[in-house]
Structure 1
Amino acid sequence: MLSIRKKVIATGALVALVAGLTACAPGDDAEVDLSGKDVGAMANFAAGEQFTATEPINFSILFSDHPNYPLKKDWLLWSELTERTNVTLEPTVVPMSDYEQKRSLLVGAGKAPLIIPKTYPGQEEAYVSSGAVLPVSEYLDLMPNLSEKIEKWDLEDSFEGLRQADGEFYVLPGVHEDIWQDYTVAFRTDIMEQLGLEDPKDWDEFRDVLAAIKTAYPDSYPLSDRFKGDSLLNVVAMTFGTSAGWGWDAASWNEDDKKFEFTGATEEYRAFVEYLHSLVADGLIDPESFTQDDDSAIQKFVSGKSFAISSNAQTVVNDYRPALTETVPGATVAKIPLPAGPAGNVLSEATRLENGIMINADALKSENFTAMMQFIDWLWYSDEGAEFVKWGVEGTTFAKDADGTRTLNGDIDFVGVHPGAPKHLQKDFGFATGVFAYGGATELLESTFSEEELAFQAVMKEKDVLPLAPPFPLEESEREQATLLETPLSDTAKQATLRFILGQRDLSEWDDYVTELEGKGMSRYLDLVNSAYDRYAETQ
């Protein structure tokens, strides 16, 4: 039996994704009249064509401000974007640490900007019933670049996985041509070499590596983590055939029994919890990993107090390597390939979808609505737009040779390409930031990768892919009931998980914990989910 991350979906072919220009309103057969909403729009806008509004337009956007490269009004990004598209963006700036909370408050109060990026699939569900966000699936006909990629990259099933019970989806996700795994664990590779240790192939070997470091440095916690442990929980759980941390989903598909189970009560989840508890109990993971802020975890790592920490490619280059070089001469750090687990040497198919964009439902009232959808399509989904937001302006920030190879200008640094350069692609120009640059063609994604990261990704491409679970499209009344049940169930599971891992609750009490979940309505929640699945299955 394998529990696979669930997707709440209702299926359909690409033809259902890309409707005609005159769209149907969600939940009925009424047509939405887009006449009078095409001011500034291009006639016959096509994939691969530069979008330029026929008159100057301003669009509001919610902007997640990253502390490593805070927004600057004089970024080349802004002026060049207006030059190319005739669109000026008006950002509502929110600190990255407060983004989700502020987004929720703004959307709930009806004061959100028109364009709401940095929204992961699933996060939009909270706003569907209120009508606060647009059923964007109704308007894919206005987005030729995205429509082309859905078909070309075989993303139909992934997109259908976004649909709610009304048949619509409410978020435009970032899309990857191929599966891409960035997050894993970074190690002090100089220490591994010193101790004769190799990259662990699975989580048992991972334990052995930590144990060897603990033996050599008995007063240390070999791994002291950041992200409140959510990255580590996510990647470990995925390879145990379950979900946790950033990847938590309340319902997991049991392929053997053909039904959904509550994730936090499955045998896979218990095995995952037992594994992490054993690492904490043996002093291999710092108990503060699940509560400390990122700065504390980073400081422990770069000062030599710990030897492993969760990471992606950019955090190695930006957060760990420079500081570690200064504080511990001769120290080196690198990501390890994600270890295999009981579920196999696997990655999730869900990694092809990235954080994306919600559209304020009020946007449909604008005379510039069609132009806005064309603009979003070009900026986030066209090859030209993707290159622009990632690399900047050819001749100013990068050069491009005849075979398409891009080279960052020598006076500009990014991910350690030109250490010590006086300018930085993100900080000084506004390119390659998380608001605009994510997803896209594999060639573009890997165009800024170092040889080190390319080697890492080559190993990741050898992994097997976990299939998507079947759908259970909840109707509106069911969704409300499911949310009321799922929230306390998930909270209970997450709190108990942390206590089990830290040893604050003995694992012998697992059955008592499952009984507590039952008291929170676990069976009622699963009845809703499985009834919705059965209803869907009967239509297939």
Structure 2
Amino acid sequence: MKKEHLKKAAALSMAVMMAAGSLVIPGTTAKAASEVDHSEEITITMMTTEAGTQKFPTEGYVYDVIKEKFNINLEVQPIPASDYDTKISTVLASGQMPDIIGGLQSEKLLKYAPTGMFLNLTEYKDYAPDYFDLMYGEDRAAETKKVESDGSLFGFQKCEYNRIAVAQMVAIRTDLLEEIGVEEPTTFEEYYDDLLKIKEKHPDMYGFGTRNGTNYLVGSFAYALGTGGFPTFATTRGMYYEPESDSYVYGPTSEKFTRVVEFLQNAYKDGLLDPDYATMTKDDLFEKASSGKLMSVYDNNSFVGRVYNPALQEIDANAKFDILKPMANEDGNTRSYRYEKDWPNNNSVISVRTKYPERVVELLNWMYTEEGRMITNFGEEGVNYTVDEDGTIVTSQDMIDAQAGASDVAAAVRGELGLGLQGLAQYVDESLDAQITDPIMVENAEKIAEWTEEDLIDYYPLWPSFTEEETSRITELESNINNVFNQEIDGFITGKSTMDDWAGFVETLKSQGTEELEQIFNDAYARTK
């Protein structure tokens, strides 16, 4: 389904930004690019997170390049991921920041930016042309507006250049479809009918299941069926962005939400919905999917390709889950989400007290250039990687073999040099993952990328940014609303409550403040426009 209004909004935002770029920004303190002196050797400090699966070295090839190119000694202090949130809060509260803090969540960025602690990057955008071109390009401008503070950017966000696409999809046992002699379903009606046909042949099997309980289940199907709420990316939140109305809506009170309830209610009655759905954990779903108890799962393609299929094929070599192309709902529309574009909760901010603002901005901007991207993702050409005639990047097999025993080989390889998403890269290229991961994972990722191009899948949109007062009120409202929803929704799914009771339930939800919640979200969204 085309989202022309989003494209127009992005283009408009881009045009506005381009126009603004020709103006003198009041209060700017940046020097002209020609006035910056690079002759002095300086030391820049950076605090960042260290993932449990990938070490973060503090010296090596990338650091050597930075020293040679920028005359900067980059001193990185990696903090274990388990302690990082606490460390960030402590540092920000003290006001004693290093020159750079990496891995900052957008919520904290927007909370602290108005305090004047972070360098206003918009005032230094002449030193970050590659980054600003990227963030205000047509495909990012609308979302970039949501992470601005008072019209300015304060963080260098980790962005994707080449990413293994991951999306929440229906994956079905294609061997079972072959057994009953049907093609892959293209609508939810066909999908349901196919599950019933399989059930006739395999009465002990269930049609589908998800992990993480009721809200995860509801959120998996809601958007695809034409409404929304409780997305798998934020399962405690009934709010969602509705592209048809260009507004935020509390899903369960929308007219089309009865589709979701009736779909799940019928599936429970017909023995298609796994009866353990409300308490299903990740481990439970793995056991059921890998032991042949489920016909389909609603999960991301990473789990399907790397986890469920290998285990399932140990008991049946011909069995296979494969993701389905997004299916049409009763409106004839296809609606599906993939994980959000880029890593909006992974930002690098610069202390306003740094002695060398222009040089620090230049350094981080370099990481978004072709040269910086290649070096921070792959290391040294001819040593750590080569490029084939067709442009394929090939990481040294010796480096890969040296990490063969690691639980995450790609992370271990990158950890040797401090590369990639969990290293120094700001513009992330996951070509290494494609080189070493399971072929079905790559195949499915390519399908998701194609379906995204066809407008069958959308990147999950960011929430708008809220004031502290709004955040406090949202927390209060959502707590009250969720208490009511969570107490009653299973009754509707299992048939203990009938659809005759639904209208009264909606009124009860509204009495807890769903309309006020929608107003807060849409007021915040309006500010981004």
TM-score (norm 1): 0.71
Structure 1 pair 195–88 and aligned structure 2 pair: CA distance change class (3 A): farther
Q: CA deviation at 1:146?
A: 1.7
**Residue 205 of structure 2: aligned partner:** 220
1:198 aligns to 2:188 (yes or no): no
TM-score, normalization: structure 2? 0.72
The 8 Å contact of residues 169 and 298 in structure 2, kept in 1 or not, is answered as yes
1:167 match: 151
Name the counterpart of 2:70.
none
Q: Distance in 2 between matches of 1:93 and 1:211?
A: 49
CA positional deviation for 1:480: 4.9
Structure 1's 369 and 331: CA in aligned 2 closer, same or farther, altered over 3 A?
farther
Q: Is the 8 A contact 2:101 2:349 kept in 1?
A: yes
- The answer on whether the counterparts of 1:177 and 1:440 sit within 8 Å (CA) in structure 2 is yes
Change (3 A) 1:72 1:520: same
Number of aligned residue pairs: 500
Name structure 1 gaps, 5 residues minimum.
25-30, 46-51
Mapping for residues 435-446 of structure 1, pairs under 5 Å = none
The whole-number CA distance in structure 2 between the counterparts of 1:422 and 1:349 is 25
- The answer on whether the counterparts of 2:340 and 2:462 sit within 8 Å (CA) in structure 1 is no
Alignment partner of 1:315 out of 279, 303, 321: 303
Matched, 1:244 2:205: no
| Residue in 2 that maps onto 1:338 | 326
Three-state SS of the structure 1 residue aligned to 2:143 is helix
Q: Could you tell me which amino acid in structure 2 is paired with residue 90 of structure 1?
A: Q
8 Å Cα contact 2:209/2:277 also seen in 1: yes
- Distance in 1, matches of 2:261 and 2:87, equals 32
Q: After superposition, what is the alpha-carbon deviation per residue over 1:243-302, rounded to whole angstroms, capped at 9, x for unaligned?
A: 43226562655967x876433311133323332343344332334445433233223322
Aligned counterparts of 1:107 and 1:253: Cα–Cα separation in 2: 38
List aligned pairs for 1:297-446, cutoff 5 A.
297-342=285-330, 344-347=333-336, 351-359=340-348, 363-367=351-355, 369-379=357-367, 381-388=368-375, 390-391=377-378, 393-410=380-397, 424-430=409-415
The 3 A distance-change label for structure 1 pair 359 and 424 is closer
User: Could you tell me whether the CA contact under 8 Å between 1:81 and 1:88 is conserved in 2?
Assistant: no
Task: Report the equivalent of 1:185.
Answer: 170
Secondary structure at 2:309 match in 1: helix
Shift of 1:437: 7.0
Q: Secondary structure at the match of 1:72?
A: coil
Residue in 2 aligned with 1:479? 470
1:428–1:241 distance in 2 versus 1, CA, 3 Å: same
Name the CA distance, whole Å, in 2 between partners of 1:5 and 1:291.
39
Matched, 1:510 2:502: yes
Greater displacement, 495-504 / 443-452? 443-452
Say what the alpha-carbon RMSD is for the aligned residues: 5.2
Instruction: Give the structure 1 partner of residue 49 of structure 2.
Output: 62
Contact 2:206–2:272 (8 Å) recurs in 1: yes
The one of 54, 57, 63 equivalent to 1:71 is: 54
SS of the aligned residue for 2:81 comes to: strand
- SS state at 1:365 partner: coil
Provide closer, same or farther for how the CA distance between residues 90 and 104 of structure 1 changes in structure 2, counting only shifts above 3 A.
closer
Residue 470 of structure 2 aligns with an amino acid whose one-letter code is: R
Q: Is the 8 A contact 2:481 2:513 kept in 1?
A: no
CA distance in 1, matches of 2:459, 2:168: 20
Change (3 A) 1:330 1:64: same
SS of 1:236's partner is: helix
Equivalent position amino acid for 1:262 in 2? Y
Give yes or no for contact 1:136–1:168 (8 Å, CA) kept in 2. Answer: yes
Distance (Å, rounded) in 2 between the aligned partners of 1:103 and 1:515: 44
Distance of 2:40 and 2:505 partners within structure 1 = 58
1:276 paired residue among 243, 255, 264: 264
Q: 1:73 to 1:524 in 2, by over 3 A?
A: closer
Distance 1:397 1:329, change over 3 A: farther
User: Alpha-carbon deviations, 1:170-200, whole Å to 9, x = none?
Assistant: 6655546799663313333333333334322
Cα deviation 1:48-83 (Å, max 9, x = unaligned) = xxxx99544331113443xxxx13356xx9633323
For the 8 Å contact 2:265–2:494, the answer to whether it is kept is yes
Write the distance in 2 (CA, Å) between the matches of 1:495 and 1:341: 25
**Are the aligned partners of 2:173 and 2:322 in contact in 1 as well (CA < 8 Å)?**
yes
Q: Secondary structure at the match of 2:449?
A: helix
1:83 and 2:64 are equivalent in the alignment: yes
Q: What is the CA-CA distance between 1:148 and the residue it aligns to?
A: 1.9
CA distance in 2, matches of 1:308, 1:60: 44
Of stretches 302-311 and 438-447 in structure 1, the one that deviates more from structure 2 is 438-447
1:94 corresponding residue in structure 2 = 81
* Amino acid in the other structure paired with 1:518: K
Distance (Å, rounded) in 2 between the aligned partners of 1:392 and 1:105: 32
Alignment partners' CA distance in 2, 1:329 and 1:56: 57
Query: 1: CA distance between counterparts of 2:3 and 2:138?
Result: 26
Letter in 1 for 2:252: G
Tell whether the 8 Å contact from 2:171 to 2:304 is kept in structure 1 after alignment: yes
